[in-house]
Structure 1
């Protein structure tokens, strides 16, 4: 199948490239409007079926106020103020500014009934609250911009008033995130270019994956634009599409170009080289793409629009990168031919010595590990478990304005409120009771009093009728809404027996609902991920042992990444300030990305091992050969992927830092400890058992003609021995792959990326 595809791409290379250019142009035009269609609202993080969402909808219908949104104006006063004092000019101006906004339904300041908690403990500042109706993302961004400008233009407010609250906070989190992502991309691009030149050993070859990254990103934008017509797609999807598209294009490009150079040296430019490349590396790319897509598709099992958007963006990006690698890139290589090695230093064009030296070192590593496989397997497992051990104390938190730096207005407001105000009256716990048509006021009052007795509850308001079936009780919490004491208090309130069915809303209740919904969806997402990965790896290898072993190794590497995140961010190491916990969605995203890429690298290695076994090598020799041929490719791909992702650690937002550092660490651990130590040691321990499958499954594998997808095996062709840097006992030789009809050739000049 793949050989036929390679032949067809060579024959129709110009037509394929013109078609690819046309599709890319159309995708550019259509996908260019995707940013206008993306969402960036707090509801992206909600389970639409959660009780907190239902509570907010009831409050919104009854009052016209969206409990999830709102403004806080922090006003610093010249003289200390106290409850009962007349409002200074700045406070009056702040209240009038909010009343002038069409979306504001209610304005509350310290002169309002029950507004005494809106004055700082030292009287140096006060809060003016603006409760708003439902707003779209575009309306929120525009309103935040206009309010900031109005504050600058008003002499009573300028220099003493700062805009914060839920709506500006979320808008500014998005703005800072976009700015930091752009900066990370700009900082990492020169590094990537240099590394690509060094890894691909030539300018033309180095530009190929960048071309693939651009094409895959444009195709991904068009795919996401289509998706916006059917569902809400979060703005974070574009950031993932950029990082993942570039990373996978580098991975796939490195694999395809390296193999094409091998075949080019063996057969010269022409159909044979391209056919062999697509038949071997192309098959690997297909299964690699399917496994990465499966890992990211598991995110769609979560009901939250944000996670579903990230999963959808991941699948679209993987498909886009794979399409270029399997169709556009081979046609491009057919046109280039030997010119793929152009614009390289003359010494690098004679790559045989350096390639064999690199392969010899990896070959030597594999042989050393396989001489004492049990020792190295236990050592690698112990190291990974030790790194993962901090995971036992992991805690999770949400994202709000407190995550912003204090030079951002909403971040400053959140920090001052947390430091200088006794009660979090601007973010109360909202309890909505379904009382029916005839509520008992005494039972409502008794319930409110019992809620007030809960530790961590500062005050409780009187029950308020929302409509003929619902009443609302507000409970002001003592601590910041996303701090552990506040969450403990809300959980305790939820345990208080209510006289009527109760739903809970507010910042704390929303986060608890989000965390609970993620936990409830994890078994389904994990089951989908495990099942699809097992099926794909069985289809690729014909074994049931290798897929199970891959799952185990992926769990070890991702567990190590999570433990590393807890140690760095929650415990405060490597120069990062200690946090109260990890952002709740970060582990899910890191797991999906790291799991997919770990399986991706595993497929790279297994493909070469399978080829070596088919050519007649013994099990251990095949493993050493596979690691020798893929060791530098996998390591280079991992490093190149980690540069743009790891640059996210420079972000000003902790949850972005967690995502970047976690994904980069997981990929590096997998490409080094797992691939260099754990894989060869376990392969050696299990021997032929690695390839075992029950007879019915072997028959199914043959019946589905999955074995026909593999290139025909050839007799191994001897190559020069490894470089002197390899151990003296390392006598295994590399093998040049070829078709059954090809004559054996000297591969001493075989170039690699």
Structure 2
């Protein structure tokens, strides 16, 4: 098939390019609608108790309060003069707003729980109506209009709606900044790497096609199922990176053939026979790793699978269809715009070959320090804690973050981190009172509000407030359990588990929700599905690499080394983002590792590591099949791919490191984590540990038992091998290993 595509590109390059242009225009027209159909959120398991509690509260009580306004008097107390009048005016405006429901205000219901301990602030609670997009639009309108500061008070918005508004707005700004840095810098580095303006533009063109094509895919999927707006982040970074990876390999191999005296048609066909097959297998391994995200019950993670699989397929397809036509059309003009100092060489980098030779002569001396370094970097993983996104992912200057800090520091019981409990059946007042009293007696419980009144340490406090009646319907009861603990802390999670263990009033079943309960359920959902995801990644990696190499030791070697590199990357992220090192430089608040983003980092980084694994292994296998011994196949294989892998890794790392300029910490985490994983893999794993492992394995590097060898002979793929082994210039062969 690849040969047929290559022959078509040689014979009809203009027809291929015109057809591709028509498809690209259609993708652009379709992809424009992607942003309108993608959704925020997607972090919940819709089969979990916390989700069911949220739905029950929605159906029985009109939903949870998702907007908390902290009204602070500019001078004096909140009950004095202009401040109290401003609060009443705010309450009146919100009550009249048709996009809000259940407005509960200290200024209309002077509940002491809604007043700060210092008497200078008060809360106004509301439910913003609509789907995720409508909630974001309404929140934006409120914060710039009826809920804005005035001369008497300042207003800070907290709660889920305000946090989502803040995160989405900041992410949009951060992505624009990251792309404005990454794209020009990438183009500059491509020109330097290729030494030619024309050759440098080709990978960028493939990356652009991959991004636009994936936008079109997401626009279609967004109309069929829930797709997270954050999938755009992965599309831009991975699309640009993989487009560059694949096009870089194609262009480098094409130029190598030309430098060896091949005609343009022969160079195109040779590139498809070798680099084309490598790209096809590389794309398969990356897509398989990303597909592991489909096993998780959150559409946030599944959306990254949709985007990842799409961008890999489109990037590979573009490289295998559009790039041969471009190379055939350009011919030797691929080197046009050459920089004065650039050499007219193929892809060979003798320095990488000499490094491989040195490593294979002294594998233990070279590999042990690298393994020790990676083990040290990985060690913080042992102390990792996990959480879900909340206001602490925002910078301390963000209004939603300031509101959350005020709720935690100045009020009795944090409304945003309260545990929400709802019964699935009716209950009488005495049983509700007894149940609320038991809940209030749990360790780290501050107060429990119910239709039977408020309880502290097992005892009722004050008279039953007029609004308490709204906490009961004919078929359900709602209770709110407040705690002073951080919502992500182990004590807060233990409180949720303790609350779930308390029998409901009159034996009624209960559902426990709230932010901490969502964290508990999220962790349970991920840990429960993680073995399936890991099993899928291991199985598909083994199968694909076996079919590509015919060896069972090569897939096992790849899995061990890639896992070591990934562990080092994730351990470093724990050291930075959880332990707080570099927080002053990067401007984030140390917090537990984001559970979903850690899984995402693992799958994406593992897939990219397999990308470079296939790049290197394919060249080693090609040389081995042509009769080269172990030393020559490894050293020349690294010499001829080292520059490609290191350049591709550097360019892809730039795309991800650009996210380090973000103000949202989980974007920083993902970008820096992926960028570091890519560099560790390209430099330490490919440059040192792979040659060392090949030297240790020796002849068993290509071993497979008889039955599996027969499977490979029937179903495996062999690299085209018409070339002869060409020694790399300046490559020392001293100390060759047989």
CA 1:578–1:428: 2 relative to 1, 3 Å: closer
Asked if 1:147 is matched to 2:158, the reply is no
3-state SS, counterpart of residue 473 of structure 1: strand
Look up the match of 2:658: 647
Give CA deviations for 1:364-403 in whole Å, capped at 9, x if unaligned: 1111111122343333222211110011110112212233
Alignment partners' CA distance in 2, 1:305 and 1:550: 30
Look up the match of 2:734: 729
CA 1:719–1:374: 2 relative to 1, 3 Å: closer
Shift of 1:29: 0.6
Shift of 1:161: 2.0
Asked if 1:425 is matched to 2:415, the reply is yes
3-state SS, counterpart of residue 72 of structure 1: strand
3-state SS, counterpart of residue 572 of structure 1: coil
Across the aligned residues of Structure 1 and Structure 2, the Cα RMSD in angstroms comes to 2.3
Equivalences for residues 207-606 of structure 1 within 5 A:
207-351=201-345, 359-435=349-425, 439=427, 442-463=430-451, 466-498=472-504, 499-574=507-582, 575-576=585-586, 579-606=590-617
Alignment partners' CA distance in 1, 2:128 and 2:356: 64
Look up the match of 2:102: 106
Alignment check: 8 A CA contact 2:39 2:229 kept: yes
Shift of 1:578: 5.7
Alignment partners' CA distance in 2, 1:719 and 1:544: 29
Alignment check: 8 A CA contact 1:151 1:161 kept: no
3-state SS, counterpart of residue 585 of structure 1: helix
Asked if 1:183 is matched to 2:177, the reply is yes
Alignment check: 8 A CA contact 1:431 1:504 kept: yes
Shift of 1:483: 4.3
Alignment partners' CA distance in 1, 2:714 and 2:345: 42
Give CA deviations for 1:219-269 in whole Å, capped at 9, x if unaligned: 111111111122111000111101000000111111100000011122444
Asked if 1:69 is matched to 2:78, the reply is no
Shift of 1:416: 2.1
Give CA deviations for 1:626-655 in whole Å, capped at 9, x if unaligned: 111111111111110111211111111111
Look up the match of 2:466: none
Alignment check: 8 A CA contact 1:452 1:459 kept: yes
Look up the match of 1:51: 49
Asked if 1:665 is matched to 2:653, the reply is no
Alignment check: 8 A CA contact 1:205 1:257 kept: yes
Alignment partners' CA distance in 2, 1:25 and 1:527: 40
Shift of 1:92: 0.6
Alignment partners' CA distance in 2, 1:45 and 1:115: 33
Look up the match of 1:121: 117
Alignment partners' CA distance in 2, 1:141 and 1:252: 38
Shift of 1:497: 4.3
Shift of 1:196: 0.7
Alignment partners' CA distance in 2, 1:664 and 1:243: 11
Shift of 1:109: 2.3
Alignment check: 8 A CA contact 2:128 2:139 kept: no
Shift of 1:5: 2.9
Alignment check: 8 A CA contact 1:424 1:481 kept: no
Give CA deviations for 1:196-226 in whole Å, capped at 9, x if unaligned: 1111111001111111111111111111111
3-state SS, counterpart of residue 457 of structure 1: coil
Give CA deviations for 1:164-216 in whole Å, capped at 9, x if unaligned: 32212202211101111110111222221221111111100111111111111
CA 1:53–1:85: 2 relative to 1, 3 Å: farther
Alignment partners' CA distance in 1, 2:273 and 2:571: 40
CA 1:718–1:410: 2 relative to 1, 3 Å: closer
Alignment check: 8 A CA contact 2:259 2:344 kept: no
Look up the match of 2:458: none
The range that moved more, 489-498 or 236-245, is 489-498
Alignment partners' CA distance in 2, 1:717 and 1:40: 54
Alignment partners' CA distance in 1, 2:331 and 2:667: 42
3-state SS, counterpart of residue 470 of structure 1: coil
3-state SS, counterpart of residue 48 of structure 1: coil
Shift of 1:693: 1.4
3-state SS, counterpart of residue 348 of structure 1: coil
Shift of 1:13: 1.4
Alignment check: 8 A CA contact 1:3 1:711 kept: no
Alignment partners' CA distance in 2, 1:29 and 1:344: 35
Shift of 1:145: 2.4
Shift of 1:445: 3.1
Q: Please report the TM-score for the alignment, with normalisation by the length of structure 1.
A: 0.90
Asked if 1:22 is matched to 2:22, the reply is yes
Shift of 1:714: 4.2
3-state SS, counterpart of residue 164 of structure 2: helix
Asked if 1:198 is matched to 2:192, the reply is yes
Alignment partners' CA distance in 1, 2:406 and 2:158: 11
3-state SS, counterpart of residue 106 of structure 1: strand
Give CA deviations for 1:91-135 in whole Å, capped at 9, x if unaligned: 1122112112213221222255572122222222222111344x1
Alignment partners' CA distance in 2, 1:71 and 1:154: 15
Alignment partners' CA distance in 1, 2:317 and 2:132: 33
Alignment check: 8 A CA contact 2:288 2:540 kept: yes
Alignment partners' CA distance in 1, 2:264 and 2:174: 46
Equivalences for residues 711-730 of structure 1 within 5 A:
711-718=720-727, 720-722=729-731, 729=734
The range that moved more, 20-29 or 70-79, is 70-79
Alignment partners' CA distance in 1, 2:670 and 2:500: 32
Alignment check: 8 A CA contact 2:67 2:157 kept: no
Alignment check: 8 A CA contact 2:71 2:87 kept: no
Asked if 1:619 is matched to 2:630, the reply is yes
3-state SS, counterpart of residue 57 of structure 2: helix
Alignment check: 8 A CA contact 2:65 2:127 kept: no
3-state SS, counterpart of residue 266 of structure 2: helix
Query: Across the two proteins, how many residue pairs are aligned to each other?
Result: 715
Which stretches in structure 1 are left out of the alignment for 5+ residues? 733-753
Shift of 1:24: 0.2
Alignment check: 8 A CA contact 1:364 1:730 kept: no
CA 1:566–1:56: 2 relative to 1, 3 Å: same
3-state SS, counterpart of residue 730 of structure 2: coil
Q: Please report the TM-score for the alignment, with normalisation by the length of structure 2.
A: 0.92
